[in-house]
Amino acid sequence: MSDFPAYAPSEEHELLRRTVRELADAKIAPFAAEVDEESRFPQEALDALAASGLHAVHVPESYGGAGADALATVIVIEEVARACASSSLIPAVNKLGTVPLLLAGSEELKQRYLAPVARGEAMFSYALSEADAGSDAAGMKTRAVREGDFWVLNGTKMWITNAGVSQFYTVMAVTDPSAGARGISAFVVEKSDAGVSFGPPERKLGIKGSPTRQVILEDVRIPADRMIGAEGTGFKTALATLDHTRITIAAQALGIAQGALDFAIGYVRQRRQFGRPVADFQGVQFMLADMAMRLEGARQLTYHAAVKSERAMRGEPVADLTFVSSACKALASDVAMDVTTDAVQLLGGYGYTREFPVERMMRDAKITQIYEGTNQIQRMVMARQLLK
């Protein structure tokens, strides 16, 4: 049976899960409430993840990285998110920022920018959205104009995760305004480039430890070799990237939901009402069963998608990657919203307070239904795949 085409996690994947869970329980979970309360970057998590080489596990070995496959990367993000959703954006956004390079960047660009990320010296964000170009990403206005051996960028990118703490940014900008989506190109912009600044941190419902800010580009003059791929291919690269990274948002959603379910199970076993643990009541048991059932279903679809992502990264044709990627992202995030809401319900009044982590998990789950494409956009993407 050794050649059976399994997509289940291997023993190595499960060992990785145990390792990350131990690390997250010991070094990330203890700060999760404080990071949320103070809306501060989880530096302890970055330090712990970088010390163990878990901050950007997807970077291939040829660029000094751990070379983890897409399923292993999902497991890392899932386990960090179980402890702290904000912290899980460290490995997730490092992947989002660098996949455009991996898919379309020149060898020289990859060597230059992936190695510092692998060493834990730099993080990488992804700058697609703008104030008036969210779901309609191709409606962006940020402009890049060629001047000799340079491109000069002007515009404001919005909702940029980990803006300010990342050293590097994949920025999509219009190079030919007459060509629509085919007039968009991708660039690497550095935080230290003259003319780069950041808006104030957004005041958000959840993932408060991960800074979300505007990236403001004012006459940012960068060498022409910072373009990722050919001119006019930036929008395709951006969407092809999301085919891989919506799976990591699904992973984040799974982790948040698992954290809430685990906490709720512990709670209902010890909470006594009417002279017995509330876990004895069938109504509570049915809620737990539904939560776990739906979570496991979403997990299996996510792992299935992760294996397809890995195959595609290795150059195999995978016809339905776009579909499964959107499907697992929409399903896992909807499940995470339901599971975390039910976890709050199971804790009753206590669940509604900040004394317990489930209200934070419920707030954090909400963003997974919105970013990397709203779940309405995911359904549109899936329907287009079905009908084409």
Which of 73, 87, 129, 185 is close enough to bind ligand CAA by CB under 6 A?
129
**Angle in degrees, CA 190, 191, 193, rounded to 5:** 65
> Could you give the CA distance from residue 87 to residue 167 in angstroms, rounded to a whole number?
17
DSSP letter at 213 equals E
Toward ligand CAA, which CB reaches closer, 138 or 265?
138
For 7, 8, 70, 308, 313, the CA distances from 3, given in Å and listed in that order, are 12, 13, 20, 17, 21
Maximal C-alpha separation, the chain:
79
The closest of 56, 54, 9, 65 to 27, measured between CA atoms, is: 54
Q: Which residue is nearest to ligand CAA (CB)?
A: 373
Of residues 24 and 215, the one with the C-beta less far from ligand CAA: 215
Q: Is 121 an annotated catalytic residue? A: no
Q: Considering only 4-12, 147-155, 223-231, 365-373, which stretch makes contact with ligand CAA by CB under 6 A?
A: 365-373
Closer residue to ligand CAA in complex, CB, 233/258:
233
Please return the burial class of 265, using the count of CB atoms within 10 Å of its CB with bins 0-12, 13-18 and 19+: middle
- CB nearer ligand CAA, residue 294 or residue 363: 363
Other CB atoms within 10 Å distance of the CB of residue 205: 11
Q: Which member of 181, 216, 265, 292 binds ligand CAA (CB under 6 A)?
A: 181
78, 79, 231, 372: the catalytic one is 372
For ligand CAA, give the closer residue by CB, 199 or 277. 199
Residue 299 Cβ, how far from ligand CAA at the closest point, in Å?
20
Please, which residues have CB within 8 angstroms of residue 244's CB and are 6 or more apart in sequence?
Answer: 70, 95, 99, 309, 312, 313, 321, 325
Segment 223 to 252, residues that bind ligand CAA, using CB under 6 A: 235-236, 239-240, 242-243
**Residues 68-107 vs ligand CAA: string with x where CB under 6 A?**
-------------------------x--x-----------
146 closest CA partner among 90, 222, 74, 205: 222
Task: Enumerate binding residues for ligand CAA (CB under 6 A).
Answer: 93, 96, 126, 128-129, 135, 137-138, 159, 161, 181-182, 235-236, 239-240, 242-243, 322, 371-373, 377, 381
